[in-house]
């Protein structure tokens, strides 16, 4: 194994990730190769300093934001879980039945024969017509008699 191959194992060796046999081979090389040994020392010192760098502290706002978003998601998931297939099928069935009823009703309602104007007039004025019937009048001609009744009564 040449120096480049040995040097390529240095990081894994420092991290304790090198298999035992390869680690022993590297240790032997470090004893006799001062340049490789210097590289190993530099690497260890650098990694120690890098790992000691301070890291940012998470803010309280992060906790609030994450837990709030998770609560929203959870509520949505619970709602979605409620509408499972066994619950959804009857609901969809009812909705479909209602839709069919509307579709069937609409042409029937449109095709229904309309009322003639005379019948409509009677319906709109049914109360007045009933009153006329009570006082014994049978039509509009009788109304003229009522209008001129005082003249007839005043005649000696």
- In angstroms, give the least distance from the CB of 114 to other proteins: 60
**Rounded to an integer, what distance in angstroms lies between the CA atom of residue 51 and that of residue 32?**
29
Q: Which is nearer to other proteins, 15 or 35 (CB)?
A: 15
- In angstroms, give the least distance from the CB of 91 to other proteins: 23
Question: Can you give the binding site for other proteins, defined by CB under 8 A?
Answer: 8, 10-12, 15, 17, 42-43, 46-47, 49-51, 53-59, 61-63, 65-67, 69-71, 73-74, 77-78
Please enumerate in sequence order all residues whose Cβ is within 8 A of that of 47, keeping only pairs 6 or more positions apart, or say none.
14
Q: Which is nearer to other proteins, 45 or 92 (CB)?
A: 45
- In angstroms, give the least distance from the CB of 29 to other proteins: 16
Where does residue 115 fall: left (phi above 0), alpha (psi -120 to 50 degrees), or beta otherwise?
beta
Please enumerate in sequence order all residues whose Cβ is within 8 A of that of 151, keeping only pairs 6 or more positions apart, or say none.
none
């Amino acid at each position: 194994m040449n120096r480049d191959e040995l040097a390529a194992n240095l990081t894994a060796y420092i991290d304790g990730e090198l298999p035992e046999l390869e680690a022993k081979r590297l240790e032997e090389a470090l004893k006799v190769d001062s340049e490789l040994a210097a590289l190993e020392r530099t690497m260890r010192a650098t990694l120690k300093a890098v790992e000691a760098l301070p890291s940012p502290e998470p803010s309280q706002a992060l906790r609030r934001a994450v837990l709030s978003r998770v609560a929203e998601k959870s509520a949505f998931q619970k709602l979605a879980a409620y509408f499972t297939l066994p619950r959804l099928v009857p609901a969809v069935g009812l909705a479909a039945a209602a839709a069919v009823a509307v579709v069937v009703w609409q042409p029937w309602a449109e095709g229904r024969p309309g009322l003639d104007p005379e019948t409509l007039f009677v319906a709109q004025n049914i109360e007045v017509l009933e009153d006329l019937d009570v006082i014994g009048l049978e039509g509009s001609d009788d109304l003229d008699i009522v209008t001129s009744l005082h003249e007839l009564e005043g005649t000696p």
